Structure 1
Amino acid sequence: MSTEIQRDIQAIVSIDAIPHIMQILASSLQLRFICVARVTEQAWTMCAVLDKADFGLMPGDHLEIDTTFCRTVRASKKEIVINHASADKEYRDNPIPIMYGFESYFSYPIFDANGEFFGTLCGLDPEPRELRNAKVHGQISAFAKLISNQILLSDHIEQTHAQLDDAKKMTRLQEQYIAILGHDIRTPLSSIQIGINFLDDVIKDSEIASTIQVPVFKAVSRMKNSVQRMTRLIEDAMDFTHSRVGKGLPVELAISHDLSKQLHYTIEELATANPQATINIHIDIAYGLVCDEKRICQLLSNLLKNALVHGDQTQPIYVKVITNNTEFLLSVTNSGTAISDESKTRLFQPFWRKEESDKKEGLGLGLFIASEIASAHEGAITVSSDSKNTEFTFTFPLSQPLSNVCKNVSY
């Protein structure tokens, strides 16, 4: 049996409705044999069968194509229906009913996903049956069309699975490439950073500084900013590939003694880079918090950058970080245009940006990485947005009440 025929049989076997269709036809038409066959110019192959007449045919079995009426159906694309073969002027001398011992018979064409002839839906019985009427024709033709539609659907599903597999393989390859590229770029970038640090130290020398012209100061400053931005982009790309290729974003959980100070440093760094912005801060964190300090600061940085880029820069941004006995809460609130419900569903997808946005900062990974950090802490980020404010809120449950943790921590 060819691979193509095996695939066609499997396509029919995979259609859950076919056994029910055959059972309905057998019961309503009082036929003891119903089948679906794959019919080519050379061969007739059983795909599915309901056999109460004990013909002994099973899926995969073949009949000589010349010993069936299905070859005629294939050529004409029209059904053949017989009520009483031995009494029918057209068929009483035909050897096929005599060979298989049937009196009543039907064969309706079935078509594949491309609209080409696939095979037939057949039924027969050793006794005469009234099959040539509009009601029976409507029933059988409807089921034949249903099977054709199911073949079309199965073919589309198969193609979609194949395309999805290809897309997954390509995506994984791209992610691995990004990881390798990010790793390899770090080495030359570190060399550039060392060179810039050397120039910066030279410029700071009071004796040399007086001989250096202003454009040199500006050039070194721009180089420092460029290297810092490249470093952030590489770190985002590496975090992305760690999350997708590995098993989530890696975190190092430990008892934090310095998170409040580190969060203040993070905010000050962004405030310095965005002097036009007003950032109001409220941080009240109890000691003994178990988290990854670096990742929490990274999450805050990403949320705050998002507010600085997309919020109304004439209005203040509010940063609140607090803990209670069982939960950590960090929120960033800004004014500006409300986020649509459709955009909310995609905010945390990697590389996603609003199409109408003209602000193309970064790779579009900031919110995705923030959400991965939240998940790594067994928490979540939620967003609420209306015409007045947009607020991103990160919460995660504390591993145990802070009051218990603090009892076990020495300062």
Structure 2
Amino acid sequence: MADIDKQAEIDAIAAINAVPEILQVVIRTTGLRFAAVARVTDSHWMACAVHDLIDFGLRPGDELVLESTICNEIRQHHQPVIFGHASQHPVFSTHHTPRQYGFESYVSIPIMRANGEFYGTLCALDPNPSTFDEQVVGQTLGLLAQLIASNLDLHQRLQDADRALHSERETALLREQFIAVLGHDLRTPLNAVRLAADLLEQKPLDESARRLAGLIQSSAARMGDLIADVMDFARGQLGEGIDRTPQAPNTLVPWLEQVVAESQAAKRGAPIRYAIDLPCVVSCDRARIGQLLTNLLANAMTHGDPLAAIEVHMAVQADDVVLSVRNDGPSIAAEMLPLIFQPFSRGQGDQPREGLGLGLYICAHIAKAHQGELSVTSSAAHGTCFTLRFPLNVPV
């Protein structure tokens, strides 16, 4: 490979929302203070993502001379390299790389694509010697490298699918196959990470290792939520829309009260005030309506005033069910309002936010699946209010 598209490589890693958390897990697992995802080819070593606590000096896009790195050797043999004290190591005490870059402890795990192609490495280093369980470190970082590889494969598959979908003749079949493969290929490595964390928690661990296992679990849970959003996005964009499971008329109140309680547990500061008045049963997919309320509450907690209460109201008006979620805080800019339900919209404010920016898009499609509509009003005086309106008796 004579050359690489640097920005495309950086963007591919940046598109994986979990990478910053993965690098933090690497640092906490190993105790080393520099971690990175590196793209390594037969002619280039380039940092794509970095977590640097030692001012090592590398940023995304920076390159090292390939032949000066241990990653170049890993590119050839595809095996992890792990050591805690280079100057006392039988091999690396005389190796040029630790001396050139001034580190004593080092971990580097190959990132292998599904087709067997070597992508690069998940690596960490520190100028100080370190004592860690090489087997545990190798297994844990191996799972994280697998997760990165799976997401890179997904990114490539999305690009390939986008090009292929221009062929109208193949569109329908590709859509069905893509959504099925998307769910399987994303959830399989994630389930492996969850299983590994479960197995770690069952072993006799010290408190620090137990916290790390818990951190892996919570990161995996967040990845699970992101996967669910991506699947709903794929259904909305590529399929026949977000599904609504036909159900007999049911009582929504206890279900939505549980959603509010779970959201309240995650909200610091002011409470969530709610008034749900449904004197009759409602024909709807209560899991989807609960998902919509969860997303609207999460949006209010993210963008609203943390010291002000969030207000939830639900009632029957004529032949419609009306659900509203209102929060105080910065208003949504007027030019953003027409775009608020578009995918990857970040809503209020200019600060980077966690997540994919799909929550409100998914909410709008849940409303559509119930033959309803989701709208928003926002002003400095009255705050921001999202309102769902759908027929009391949605045809099954």
Q: TM-score, normalised by structure 2?
A: 0.52
Contact 2:332 2:348 in 1 (8 A): no
What does residue 350 of structure 1 align with?
343
**RMSD of aligned alpha carbons:** 3.1
Q: Distance in 2 between matches of 1:308 and 1:273?
A: 9
What does residue 169 of structure 1 align with?
166
**Runs of 5+ consecutive residues of structure 1 not aligned to the other structure:** 1-164, 402-411
What does residue 386 of structure 2 align with?
392
Q: Aligned letter for 1:393?
A: T
- Is 1:215 the counterpart of 2:204? The answer is no
Q: Distance in 2 between matches of 1:321 and 1:168?
A: 41
Counterpart pick for 2:218 among 218, 225, 240: 225
Q: Distance in 2 between matches of 1:325 and 1:170?
A: 46
CA drift of 1:333 comes to: 0.5
Q: Distance in 2 between matches of 1:199 and 1:220?
A: 6
Q: Distance in 2 between matches of 1:227 and 1:196?
A: 9
Counterpart pick for 2:362 among 362, 369, 383: 369
| CA displacement 1:216-243 (0-9 Å, x = unmatched) | 3422332222111101110111111111
Cα distance change, pair 267–170 in 1 and its aligned pair in 2 (3 A): farther
Cα distance change, pair 195–264 in 1 and its aligned pair in 2 (3 A): farther
Q: Distance in 2 between matches of 1:345 and 1:372?
A: 16
What does residue 286 of structure 1 align with?
279
| 1:32-51 to 2 correspondences below 5 Å | none
Q: Aligned letter for 1:300?
A: L
What does residue 186 of structure 1 align with?
187
| 1:61-210 to 2 correspondences below 5 Å | 169=166, 180-197=181-198, 202=202
Q: Aligned letter for 1:185?
A: L
Aligned residues: 229
| CA displacement 1:306-355 (0-9 Å, x = unmatched) | 11111111111111122345211111100111112210000000112259
Contact 1:277 1:316 in 2 (8 A): yes
What does residue 372 of structure 2 align with?
379
Q: Distance in 1 between matches of 2:275 and 2:340?
A: 26
Q: Aligned letter for 1:362?
A: G
| 1:12-23 to 2 correspondences below 5 Å | none
Contact 1:326 1:400 in 2 (8 A): no
Contact 1:178 1:237 in 2 (8 A): no
CA drift of 1:294 comes to: 0.8
Cα distance change, pair 287–198 in 1 and its aligned pair in 2 (3 A): farther
CA drift of 1:179 comes to: 6.0
Q: Distance in 2 between matches of 1:282 and 1:355?
A: 26
Identity of aligned residues (%): 38
Q: Distance in 2 between matches of 1:371 and 1:324?
A: 20
**Runs of 5+ consecutive residues of structure 2 not aligned to the other structure:** 1-161
What does residue 267 of structure 1 align with?
260
Contact 1:383 1:393 in 2 (8 A): yes
Q: Aligned letter for 1:391?
A: C
Q: Secondary structure at the match of 1:280?
A: strand
Contact 2:332 2:347 in 1 (8 A): no
Q: Distance in 1 between matches of 2:164 and 2:342?
A: 17
What does residue 319 of structure 2 align with?
326
- Is 1:314 the counterpart of 2:314? The answer is no
Which structure's CA Rg is the greater one?
Answer: 1
Cα distance change, pair 221–285 in 1 and its aligned pair in 2 (3 A): farther
Q: TM-score, normalised by structure 1?
A: 0.50
CA drift of 1:170 comes to: 9.1
Cα distance change, pair 400–188 in 1 and its aligned pair in 2 (3 A): closer
CA drift of 1:244 comes to: 1.4
Q: Distance in 2 between matches of 1:275 and 1:291?
A: 31
Q: Distance in 1 between matches of 2:226 and 2:165?
A: 24
Contact 1:175 1:241 in 2 (8 A): no
